[in-house]
Amino acid sequence: MRAPTTILVTGGAGFIGSHTCVELLDHGYKLIVIDNYSNSSSQVFNRIEKVTDRFVGAVYELDIRDRHALSAVFDRHPIDAVVHFAAHKAVGESTRMPIEYYDTNVAGTTALLRAMHEHEVHQLVFSSSCSIYGDAGRGPLDESTPARPTNPYASSKWICEQILADVCARIPEFTVLCLRYFNPVGAHPSGLLGEDPRGTPDNLMPTVAQVAIGRLSRLRVFGDDYSTPDGTAIRDYLHVMDTAEAHRIALDRLSDTSGMHVFNLGVGKGQSVLEVVAAFGAASGSPIPFRVVPRRAGDVPELVADAGAVNRAWGWRPRRNLADMCGDSWRFQRRNPLGYAQ
Ligand code: NAD
Ligand code: WQD
């Protein structure tokens, strides 16, 4: 099959999408980007152009579920492959708005698959999530760990994976590389691009960054009574530029692949909440004020990737450590105290 050169990036204005756009432009890919800006801002494209010194390409404000608008994008551009980031991603919000989550994440994915198939585009890189493993227990989890999603967000990603596996089994032209990310954090080292969620962040790293800059008064540490060395929960934090690089390699490899393949993306090493807090304090030069509060509903003690499969398949391994993640995240926050909106 022909190696893809023109890539449709859905959700390309978002956190992982925008960093992936940089990586793809830096490696000569041509991009078409769609996003409805429900959790992002179009300002990000000026930043991407500054960082890469390249034109982003065509950008469309549209909802992934809008079949006609989506079809028109495929009509207009010679798209070879798609990287599908567009989704809602907040676990807590998904328990309050399950219909919205299934509609955007699942119906959005089937709308995309239909448009792809109608336009004879069959190569896809899909954003999945370690949250599908649920409370799978201790130790690094490999891709054979049974999926046991515990909330509508995680279920929506698991349903998408099953749809994609079924589509690949029945329509042999389709090739899907499904990447299950653990906890992508950090920012582009330029300080121009980073994580800028709308409203109050849910995730640890953007919350810590907003405490460090004074937008939030202190971090709430959700539980210090887990059976972990310091009592706080352990996650596998992965630099967003390493995450972006894995997508570029996935696209490089798509044309030599067939069917569906699933890979974990993680470092393979866990860090506790207090270790992240200490590392961010060291990066920003002042300790992060925090208060321990009860556990957050639905949190699990530990989620760490066995990322051996992707290393064996593609030779990919993360190159950046927790100090880099905190340093880059702090640089973005310090230079953009109010995010892209300022
Ligand atoms: P993000 O919210 O920053 O990016 C998602 C983008 O999709 C946003 O720009 C948003 O505006 C857009 N979008 C949402 N609904 C849309 C719709 N209906 N039509 C068009 N655009 C829409 O999130 P992110 O962290 O960059 O996550 C990207 C992908 O990675 C998501 O699929 C998410 O589920 C997955 N993921 C993220 C993480 C993480 O920790 N950030 C971990 C695992 C998986
Ligand atoms: C990390 C740790 C919290 C905020 C979720 C999804 C996962 C992926 C990333 C999308 C936990 C603790 C957090 C705070 C805290 N996203 N924490 N105070 O929950 O591991 O993963 O987002 O797919 O799939 O499940 O990430 O960053 O929210 O939390 O103490 O204010 O930080 O309890 O232990 P999580 P997170």
Flag whether 327 is in a domain: no
179 lines ligand 2 (CB under 6 A): no
Flag whether 67 is in a domain: yes
Flag whether 341 is in a domain: no
pLDDT attached to residue 14: 96
277 and 208 Cβ atoms separated by less than 8 Å: yes
Tell me, in angstroms, the distance from the centre of ligand 2 to residue 300's CA.
10
Flag whether 57 is in a domain: yes
Protein residue with least CA distance to atom 27, ligand 2: 203
* Secondary structure class of 15 (helix, strand, coil): helix
| Ligand showing the shortest atom-to-Cα distance for residue 179 | 1
Tokens matching residue 294: 């009860």
Q: Look up the pTM and report it.
A: 0.98
Show the beta-strand stretches assigned E in 161-267.
Answer: 175-181, 183-185, 219-222, 234-235, 237-239, 259-265
Flag whether 333 is in a domain: no
| Ligand showing the shortest atom-to-Cα distance for residue 202 | 2
pLDDT attached to residue 278: 98
Query: Does an H or E element contain 271, and which?
Result: strand 271-272
Flag whether 282 is in a domain: no
pLDDT attached to residue 199: 85
Annotate 143-180 with DSSP letters as a single string: TTSPP---SHHHHHHHHHHHHHHHHHHH-TT-EEEEEE
240 lines ligand 1 (CB under 6 A): no
| Ligand showing the shortest atom-to-Cα distance for residue 14 | 1
**pLDDT per residue as tens, the chain (342 positions):** 778 899 999 999 999 999 999 999 999 999 999 999 999 999 999 999 999 999 999 999 999 999 999 999 999 999 999 999 999 999 889 999 999 999 999 999 999 999 999 999 999 999 999 999 998 888 899 999 999 999 999 999 999 999 999 999 999 999 999 999 999 999 999 999 999 888 889 899 999 999 999 999 999 999 999 999 999 999 999 999 999 999 999 999 998 999 999 999 999 999 999 999 999 999 999 999 999 999 998 888 999 999 999 999 999 999 999 999 999 999 999 999 999 976
CA 262 vs. chain centroid, Å, equals 15
108 lines ligand 1 (CB under 6 A): yes
Flag whether 211 is in a domain: no
Domain count, the chain: 1
- CATH number for the domain including 104? 3.40.50.720
Reply yes or no on whether 153 is catalytic: yes
Tell me, in angstroms, the distance from the centre of ligand 2 to residue 241's CA.
19
Instruction: Identify any residues that bridge with 126 across adjacent strands, giving them in sequence order.
Output: 84, 178
Flag whether 291 is in a domain: no
204 lines ligand 2 (CB under 6 A): yes
CA 174 vs. chain centroid, Å, equals 22
Domain span at residue 46 reads: 6-188+238-267+305-318
Phi, psi of 186 (to 5 degrees): 95, -165
